[in-house]
Amino acid sequence: MTRSLLRDVDASSQDFPFTPHTGTTTHHNSAIPSHIQDMDDSDSDGSIGPVELPDGRLICGRHGWTVCHYCCVDFSFMDELLEDPEERLERETNELYEQLSDEARAEIDARWGPPPSTRPNAQASRQANSQSNTGINARARIIDTAASPEPDILTIRRGTGRVFPTKFTPPLATSTPGELFPAGISRLAIPPVARFIRRGDPEQALIYADGACLNNGQADPKAGWAFVFKPETNQPAGIVSARLENKGPFGDEYNQTSNRAELRAILGALRFRHWEGEGFKILVFATDSEYVAEGATTWARGWVRNGWKTRTGMEVKNKDLWEMLLGEVERWDYWGLKIQFWRIPRMLNVTADRAAKQAAEKEDLDEYCEIMGVLT
């Protein structure tokens, strides 16, 4: 079984497990939020803004969600703003009551009775209200899902070769990622987020990615992968890392290698966030791996033409990850995001390299796992 985690990397918040289905085209029935568009009511890109429900709450007008990890939109603040003062007092009273010891609650019950919100009738009323609110959101999601063919992030699909990544060409041969993509703020995300943003072009972002394998090619190899998507500001840098799984996204077992770890880091980043929702049109991966940079932009074209065979007729190594990569590129192309690769010197990728090596030391991981960032 494939296992996945939806995780707020920075805040160390509660993890939401879910299982993505795999295959050429598969679907997932999950309570995890789908995607939300920009906050503008209607702009030139056709974005759809929030919808106000009869009770005053806001949801995505296109997908019916209150909180969205795709586009960094969180309307949950409306719950507190719309809360009735008497209801807030009742809620806070009940929270204090629940924190008391059993003896203290018994004494309060004997003198004044339990708080109103803990009484059976109040609990039944709250349950009915909760079911009603859930029905509103669920109905909006069902309508949107039925009417829209857009690709779902929970679906892992094998690419067809319809779209391929391209190479990023710096203006000068001596240009570095730090010079072209300094730390910046994308204000198209809600709330704004810190990213490595192209100087002079806020629609381009860069992610550092790397993989490492201890005992590579020897007995008992241990691989790990990592990517850096956020610069260090007043908060820690956004570094995501994990041990390379023994099984791939489609359930096949593979040996641990550095090349596989390098490729796995790219897939981890591509599925981590809804990058287009942050206002980006081009996502550049800075990697020191020739295997990844050339494979994604050049070699994969020939592999697809040859039925995933090399020039010598051998099966392409790590075929499952390459197919998934092309599937991700096609998915992002649907959303208007182009994927590019920039091969950089190893010395310019030290942060991701160090994190990947540390991840290789982690406990052995059998099933394919995903990490998805919420409001990071």
**According to the per-residue pLDDT averaged within each range, which of 49-53, 70-74, 123-127, 295-299 is highest?**
295-299
d(CA 267, CA 290): 16
Contacts of 12 (CB under 8 A, 6+ apart): none
What is the structure's pLDDT at 211?
98
Rounded to an integer, the average pLDDT of 98-102 is: 73
Q: What is the band of 79 on the pLDDT scale with cuts at 50, 70, 90?
A: low
pLDDT exceeds cutoff 50 at 124: no
Tell me which of 307 and 52 has the higher pLDDT: 307
What is the structure's pLDDT at 16?
35
Residue with tokens 């809600």: 190
Q: Please report, for residues 39, 142, 153, 162, 196, the alpha-carbon distance to residue 186 in angstroms, rounded to integers and kept in the order given.
A: 14, 31, 22, 30, 9
**According to the per-residue pLDDT averaged within each range, which of 90-99, 143-152, 351-360 is highest?**
351-360
Tell me which of 161 and 74 has the higher pLDDT: 161
Tell me which of 189 and 159 has the higher pLDDT: 159
Q: What is the band of 127 on the pLDDT scale with cuts at 50, 70, 90?
A: very low
Rounded to an integer, the average pLDDT of 185-191 is: 85
Share of the chain above pLDDT 90, in %: 50
Query: 261 and 244 in contact (C-beta within 8 Å)?
Result: yes
Query: 331 and 151 in contact (C-beta within 8 Å)?
Result: yes
Query: 368 and 3 in contact (C-beta within 8 Å)?
Result: yes
Rounded to an integer, the average pLDDT of 121-125 is: 43
pLDDT exceeds cutoff 90 at 293: yes
pLDDT exceeds cutoff 60 at 158: yes
pLDDT exceeds cutoff 50 at 48: yes
pLDDT exceeds cutoff 70 at 321: yes
Rounded to an integer, the average pLDDT of 106-131 is: 53
Query: 175 and 197 in contact (C-beta within 8 Å)?
Result: no
Q: What is the band of 303 on the pLDDT scale with cuts at 50, 70, 90?
A: very high
Q: What is the band of 83 on the pLDDT scale with cuts at 50, 70, 90?
A: low
Q: What is the band of 96 on the pLDDT scale with cuts at 50, 70, 90?
A: confident
What is the structure's pLDDT at 106?
72
Give the model confidence (pLDDT) of 194-250 as tens digits.
Answer: 999 999 999 999 999 999 999 988 889 999 999 999 998 878 889 999 999 999 999
Closest CA to 270 of 197, 176, 181, 205: 205
Tell me which of 268 and 155 has the higher pLDDT: 268
Q: Kindly tell me the burial class for residue 331, based on how many C-beta atoms sit within 10 Å of its own C-beta (0-12, 13-18, 19 or more).
A: buried
Q: Kindly tell me the burial class for residue 347, based on how many C-beta atoms sit within 10 Å of its own C-beta (0-12, 13-18, 19 or more).
A: exposed
Average pLDDT, the chain: 77
Q: What is the band of 300 on the pLDDT scale with cuts at 50, 70, 90?
A: very high
Q: What is the band of 102 on the pLDDT scale with cuts at 50, 70, 90?
A: confident
Opening angle at CA 224, ends 168 and 278, nearest 5 = 45
What is the SS3 string spanning the chain? CCCEEEECCCCCCCCEEECCEEECCCCCCCCCCCCCCCCCCCCCCCCCCEEECCCCCEEECCCCCCEECCCCEECCHHHHHHCCHHHHHHHHHHHHHHHCCHHHHHHHHHHCCCCHHHCHHHHHHHHHHHHHHHHHHHHHHHHHHHHCCCCCCCEEECCCCCCCCEECCCCCCCCCHHHHCCEEEECCCCCCEEEEECCCCCCEEEEEEEEEEECCCCCCCEEEEEEEEECCCCCCCEEEEEECECECCCCCECCCCHHHHHHHHHHHHHCCCCHHHHCCCEEEEEECCHHHHHHHHHHHHHHHHCCCECCCCCECCCHHHHHHHHHHHHHHHHCCCEEEEEECCHHHCHHHHHHHHHHHCCCCECCCCCEEECCC
Tell me which of 175 and 77 has the higher pLDDT: 175
Which of 53-67, 157-171, 302-316, 317-331 comes out lowest in average pLDDT?
Answer: 53-67
What is the structure's pLDDT at 292?
98
pLDDT exceeds cutoff 80 at 306: yes
**According to the per-residue pLDDT averaged within each range, which of 77-91, 163-177, 189-203 is highest?**
163-177
Q: What is the band of 190 on the pLDDT scale with cuts at 50, 70, 90?
A: confident
Amino acid making up residue 316: V
Tell me which of 292 and 39 has the higher pLDDT: 292
Q: b/e for 182-209, b at 16 or more Cβ within 10 A?
A: eebebebbbeebbbbbbeeebebbbbbb
